Amino acid sequence: MVTLRSILYMLFLSTTIILYGLPLGIFGWILPYRLVSRTSQHWGKINLRALELICGLSYQIQGEENLPSSTCIVLCKHQSAWEIIALRALLPSGNTWVVKRELLWIPFFGWALATLRPIAIDRDSARRSLQQLIDQGKYWLDKGRWITIFPEGTRVASGEKQNYNRGGAMLARKTGYSVLPIAHNAGVFWRRRGLKKYPGRITLVIGKPLNPKGLSATEITQRVEEWIEETVAKLPRKGSQQEAT
């Protein structure tokens, strides 16, 4: 049953990517950014709702009071595709993401993503990518947009760990904007390379903003990594119905 529901949801997800991605890819460049951003936010919200209705997979947020009213740099744990959908839906619509350049080449999804003006980096050139992140990141932060980064650089399976990149911390150090750490256990229910979406409730935890003043990029990265990994370790690592399905 889990497999069937997961397939049905993936069909729904694929359909919405086409329905939203095609018009955004064609017209998004001439539409106001606010409209494009809110449209992508709506896409995220309907997919979160569909995931709950079809797969029985919902979510809860802890620490929502920690969301700042001012512009910040989001550093989030990366375990699955769920957080891509969720952060698009739950964070302010004015949000610039740091993404792999190759994502922009994906039909429909990448076309729509490009209209959101992400910071698309080439991971084969670390030095150029870092400078691009700092230059473009400062530009968008100063314009009032949040910057969202997955510091691990790729999805990491639940229970596993990978070193955090310092790019987001260096951006914070250079610009003075605060860092907002986010942890979750989405990988327990929606695995890194798995089809199945297990029923249950994902917990997303928003930490307190970290002021980078007086801290080095290494210290910022270390504090964020420690908080995220310690928080994730305390979250459930198995869905309540996972064994039965």
Give me the residue spans of the domains in the chain: 2-234
- For the cut 80, the answer to whether the pLDDT of residue 88 exceeds it is yes
Position 242 confidence tier, pLDDT thresholds 50, 70, 90:
low
| Position with higher pLDDT, 209 vs 94 | 209
Measured distance CA(38)–CA(18) in Å, rounded: 17
Which DSSP string do the residues of the chain spell out, in sequence order?
A: -HHHHHHHHHHHHHHHHHHHHHHHHHHTTTS-HHHHHHHHHHHHHHHHHHHHHHH-EEEEEE-GGG--SS--EEEE--SSSHHHHHHHHHS-SSEEEEEEGGGGGSTTHHHHHHHT--EEE-TT-HHHHHHHHHHHHHHHHHTT-EEEE-TTSS---TT---PPPSHHHHHHHHH---EEEEEE-HHHHB-TT-S-B-SEEEEEEE---B--TT--HHHHHHHHHHHHHHHHHHS-SS-TTTTT-
Percent of the chain scored above 70 by pLDDT? 97
Residue 223 has pLDDT above 50, yes or no: yes
Q: Provide mean pLDDT across the span 17-36.
A: 96
Q: How many CB atoms lie within 10 A of CB 164?
A: 23
Q: What is the structure's pLDDT at 130?
A: 92
Query: pLDDT by residue (tens digit) across 109-120?
Result: 999 999 999 999
Q: What is the pLDDT of residue 181?
A: 98
* Summary mean pLDDT of the chain: 94
Out of 3.40.1130, 1.20.120, 3.40.50, 1.20.58, select the CATH number for domain 2-234.
Answer: 3.40.1130
The whole-number pLDDT of residue 245 equals 43
- pTM (two decimals): 0.93
Is the predicted pLDDT of residue 148 greater than 90, yes or no? yes
Q: Is the pLDDT of residue 227 over 50?
A: yes
User: In the predicted model, is pLDDT for residue 240 greater than 60?
Assistant: no
Quote the pLDDT of residue 244. 40
Q: What is the pLDDT of residue 238?
A: 75
pLDDT at res. 65: 96
Range of lowest pLDDT (46-55, 110-119, 122-131): 122-131
Q: What is the pLDDT of residues 163-195, one digit of tens each?
A: 999 999 999 999 999 999 999 999 999 998 889
53 or 69: which leads in pLDDT? 53
Each residue's pLDDT tens digit, 190-219: 998 889 999 999 999 999 999 999 999 999
239 — pLDDT class (breaks 50, 70, 90): low
